[in-house]
């Protein structure tokens, strides 16, 4: 009897903590990402490859934030009145944010790498058309993964009679995540982390003046902050979430899901440091202008 009460009390505490975290993320993330997306679209006009990648990252974060009211409601009331399909949709939005954010953040890092280290040779690659093609491919890939994953989750929830609860860790002994997807996601996150580590090292090497064909960059601190934020996103938010999802550790799942949701509140820092004078209407970032001047001076 005491064990049951202790278990119920611990679960109530976890639910209350989760509702609080998701509520705070909702309150902060909604205006931050909505305003960031508006600025990227209206003031920067998607006229550079970096702005295109950032706009899709902001959209991914906004989709995550829009799914959080259902989580706040569930963890506040302990009930799920919306059915299995709605549960599956909100779960996919949450997982998709980690996947798409990892890829778009890596694209932003690669774009900065090419702009700083290979400014002349990469000009034909760093176009808005190529950026849009890459983003569309990412979204199509994510949707393709969502189809079998969603069907599997719906089937598993029905077999477990999980109509009145939601999210994979609420039904004891009923794993509803497609096993292979967890491994694929972990592989993706580790691969993207590797790319970011290599990119950070190359840019750091360049900024120390070791690459003769690199562009001159005035705001070196901002450039390194971009890569530092990228690495922290992976190490703090993406890796723990993906590892726990793969291992299906029920004890760690709830806190890691809460931690992962916080990433959408920090992504606007990328836009601020990537696009100088972020709040002002400009044709491109100051970094882009300085690179162009560097090319002309040659």
What is the number of structural domains in the chain? 1
Contact indicator for 115, 122 with CB cutoff of 8 Å: yes
Contact indicator for 80, 173 with CB cutoff of 8 Å: no
Q: Which of 238, 226, 232, 249 is nearest to 187 (CA)?
A: 238
Contact indicator for 162, 170 with CB cutoff of 8 Å: yes
CA distance 120 to 292: 10
Taking residue 236's Cβ as centre, other Cβ atoms within 10 Å add up to 15
Q: What are the per-10-residue average pLDDT scores of the chain (298 residues)?
A: 47 84 95 90 81 93 93 87 86 90 94 85 88 96 90 82 65 60 85 93 80 55 85 92 78 85 89 61 46 43
Return the pLDDT at 183.
Answer: 83
Return the pLDDT at 275.
Answer: 65
CA distance 234 to 8: 33
Q: What is the CATH number of the domain that holds 224?
A: 1.20.1070.10
CA distance 98 to 166: 19
Return the pLDDT at 56.
Answer: 95
Who's near 232: CB < 8 A, 6+ residues apart? none
According to DSSP, residue 237 is labeled I
Q: Which of 263, 231, 287, 256 is nearest to 106 (CA)?
A: 231
Altogether, the residues listed in the chain come to a count of: 298
Q: Which of 103, 64, 67 is nearest to 184 (CA)?
A: 103
* Token duo for residue 48: 């550079």
Who's near 137: CB < 8 A, 6+ residues apart? none
Return the pLDDT at 166.
Answer: 78
Burial state string for 172-182 with b = 16 or more CB within 10 A and e = fewer than 16:
eeeebbbeebb
Contact indicator for 164, 80 with CB cutoff of 8 Å: yes
Return the pLDDT at 217.
Answer: 55
With tokens 């969603």, the residue in question is 150
Contact indicator for 216, 206 with CB cutoff of 8 Å: no
CA 18 to chain CA centroid, Å, is 19
Contact indicator for 203, 117 with CB cutoff of 8 Å: yes
- What is the model's pTM? 0.84
3-state secondary structure 203-236: HHHHHCCCCCCCCCCCCHHHHHHHHHHHHHHHHH
The residue segments making up the domain with residue 293 are: 2-297
């Amino acid at each position: 009897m005491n064990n049951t009460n202790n278990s119920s009390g611990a679960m109530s505490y976890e639910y209350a903590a989760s509702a609080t975290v998701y509520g705070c993320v909702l309150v902060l993330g909604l205006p931050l990402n909505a305003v960031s997306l508006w600025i990227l679209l209206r003031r920067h006009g998607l006229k550079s490859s970096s702005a295109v990648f950032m706009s899709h990252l902001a959209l991914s974060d906004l989709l995550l934030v829009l799914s959080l009211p259902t989580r706040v409601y569930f963890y506040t009331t302990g009930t799920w009145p919306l059915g299995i399909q709605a549960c599956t949709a909100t779960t996919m939005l949450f997982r998709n944010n980690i996947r798409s954010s990892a890829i778009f953040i890596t694209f932003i890092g690669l774009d900065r790498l090419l702009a700083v280290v290979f400014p002349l040779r990469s000009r034909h690659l760093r176009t808005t058309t190529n950026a849009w093609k890459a983003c569309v491919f990412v979204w199509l890939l994510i949707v393709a993964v969502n189809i079998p994953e969603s069907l599997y989750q719906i089937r598993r929830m029905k077999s477990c009679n999980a109509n009145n609860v939601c999210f994979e860790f609420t039904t004891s002994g009923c794993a509803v995540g497609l096993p292979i997807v967890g491994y694929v996601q972990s592989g993706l996150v580790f691969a993207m982390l590797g790319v970011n580590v290599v990119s950070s090292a190359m840019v750091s090497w360049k900024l120390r003046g070791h690459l003769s064909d690199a562009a001159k960059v005035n705001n070196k601190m901002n450039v390194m902050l971009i890569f530092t934020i990228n690495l922290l996103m992976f190490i703090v938010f993406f890796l723990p979430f993906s590892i726990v999802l793969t291992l299906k550790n029920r004890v760690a799942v709830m806190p890691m899901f809460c931690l992962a949701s916080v990433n959408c509140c920090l992504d606007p820092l990328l836009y601020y440091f990537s696009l100088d004078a972020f709040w002002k209407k400009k044709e491109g970032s100051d970094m882009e202008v300085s690179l162009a001047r560097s090319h002309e001076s040659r």
